[in-house]
Structure 1
């Protein structure tokens, strides 16, 4: 079987998961009542316009699915846990692990594979071109469109504000407190934030993902990043994502990816639009939001979990990012 649409592909995955749909007022929950240990998938949708999905499930058996999708759409979100393997036609086999992501899909064809026992946890928003054509463009004609991005290329980046929106929606969706009106307001906010990022500068995190060229170091010096440098920077990003709570030093990281410190720091900033320390802090703060929203761990325990030696440093960073202390943030959520 080759799926012809993203919806058909998702239904095929849920069938392989042995999940059945259970419809609620605002969402559909997919699960196997006879095997609850497999987890669940929750889908909120305005049919034909956008979807929001939350997954926390374990693969029951090996399977692969082929796809040939003509539909245009934007997908973005965060994978908190899990790694999947996929192959796009005319491209080498790739894998995708825990990370934020953003991709514009059009005419995408290939195959994706899953392995028995793998556990996945993540949340993503899918916006179909119909929403831009019928809702966004007629009312906000100067807003970004699909042509501002590289098609079928996964940007391993989201502005921190959008990562926080995804986390907030996930928390509400998990307890079925997410309403259609609130969801759509946050989708519009996400589009606005991406629009602001693209328009803020001709050199931003999205436009710099593939074509590095020369990057500036210091006042008047430029260096060129090669394809090998780009691969090393992407590997560094993966390591930092995986080890965000105990990140290696710049010196150690440069040795791990075989790239000198200067190129590593400058190249990382050019590609991801933030410094290495800003990136690890953004992941820590997203994890902090999750722990504050979904657990009863104390601030000291959360600080320790996130790798802070002193909880005061954690509180200071959290307040800098969110404008409020962790306890004030927790009280706001309940």
Structure 2
């Protein structure tokens, strides 16, 4: 099973839990009334904008879900009980039992497993891209930049003020006294606290959790990578991907991301396990291979589209990359 959205992921889990849906005035209750011992999930939702989920359930049977989700999401909350085991694409299997957590997700691919008898108890707020685009940005422009956070990295931290807000929401839920107006006001308050935390200093409670590692420059010089360095390197990666036809020189790229050339080159190689030049060529060849496979464009036209003035040079580089000439590659597709 592969799911492609947060909603599909949630539905797949609820299906495995054998929960039915019961609508109430302000919330939705998911449970199995024939097997109340399995627990419940309560959802307060403004569809497409945000969701508050309060869960206390036990897994009835082993199951797993693969995900390939392009959505941009922000998730944060508290976990009281339960071990989450998952694998993000190109990373080892991880598991964690945090008291609190925070993550900004985008283009998330991976796999998650659950075991029979596991008990999960926690509360989570999920904010969707539409909420930032239609609520935050028009009313509070230039205030919330999600690039402050490393995508798909789970921070085991929430400011204590946000923790207290989440606990207030749970208390109101237990008393059946939570409504959507109050919930949205507390979501905005939580965002204000998070923004204050990450903007007060480049080195804050979030960035201090990340070990970005060290890079070697020259023979004897070792430099520690900072959060701002990583963001600059990621921005350079995005610029190369967007401008594959005519990628900027390393000197120009360095100026565009405000990072010196040596640190940019060494940091890019460490972070992406490939040099800047190799990555720029990889993007060109990937686009070319896609065009050869899916269009009837001539070799000359494809060469021009990926930034080559001479098709002979393009064909030579393509063969070095794929072990076949463009024409041979097209014939095998």
What's the TM-score bracket when you normalise by the shorter of the two chains?
A: 0.5 to 0.7
The aligned residue for residue 118 of structure 1 is 118
- Contact map agreement 2:98 2:156 (CA 8 A) in 1: no
Does 2:51 correspond to 1:62?
no
CA distance in 1, matches of 2:47, 2:155: 26
For the residue of structure 2 that corresponds to 1:178, the secondary structure is coil
Q: CA deviation at 1:208?
A: 2.1
Residue pairs, 1:112-261, within 5 angstroms = 112-211=112-211
The aligned residue for residue 90 of structure 2 is 90
CA distance in 2, matches of 1:139, 1:98: 33
Q: CA deviation at 1:181?
A: 0.3
State how many pairs are aligned: 218
Q: CA deviation at 1:145?
A: 2.1
Residue pairs, 1:70-89, within 5 angstroms = 70-89=70-89
Q: Which moved more, 1:113-122 or 1:169-178?
A: 169-178
TM-score by length of 2: 0.63
CA distance in 1, matches of 2:176, 2:83: 27
Q: CA deviation at 1:193?
A: 0.2
Unpaired runs of 5+ residues, structure 2, are 215-222, 226-333
For the residue of structure 1 that corresponds to 2:167, the secondary structure is helix
1:276-304: CA deviation from partner (whole Å, max 9, x where unpaired): xxxxxxxxxxxxxxxxxxxxxxxxxxxxx
CA distance in 2, matches of 1:205, 1:78: 17
The aligned residue for residue 8 of structure 1 is 8
The aligned residue for residue 28 of structure 1 is 28
> Runs (4+) of structure 1 moved beyond 6 Å?
none
1:36-93: CA deviation from partner (whole Å, max 9, x where unpaired): 0111000001110000000001111111111110000100001011112101110000
The aligned residue for residue 19 of structure 2 is 19
Q: CA deviation at 1:111?
A: 0.7
When residues 175 and 225 of structure 1 are mapped into structure 2, their CA distance, relative to the original with a 3 A threshold, is farther
1:150-201: CA deviation from partner (whole Å, max 9, x where unpaired): 0000000000000111111112123321100000000000000001111111
For the residue of structure 1 that corresponds to 2:189, the secondary structure is helix
CA distance in 1, matches of 2:49, 2:56: 24
CA distance in 2, matches of 1:199, 1:169: 26
Q: CA deviation at 1:205?
A: 1.0
For the residue of structure 2 that corresponds to 1:164, the secondary structure is helix
- Contact map agreement 1:55 1:122 (CA 8 A) in 2: yes
CA distance in 2, matches of 1:195, 1:181: 21
TM-score by length of 1: 0.63
CA distance in 2, matches of 1:176, 1:109: 36
For the residue of structure 2 that corresponds to 1:185, the secondary structure is helix
1:74-128: CA deviation from partner (whole Å, max 9, x where unpaired): 0000101111210111000001214200000000011111111111100010001
Q: CA deviation at 1:148?
A: 1.1
Unpaired runs of 5+ residues, structure 1, are 215-223, 227-334
What is the Cα-based RMSD across aligned positions, in Å?
1.9
Residue pairs, 1:242-321, within 5 angstroms = none
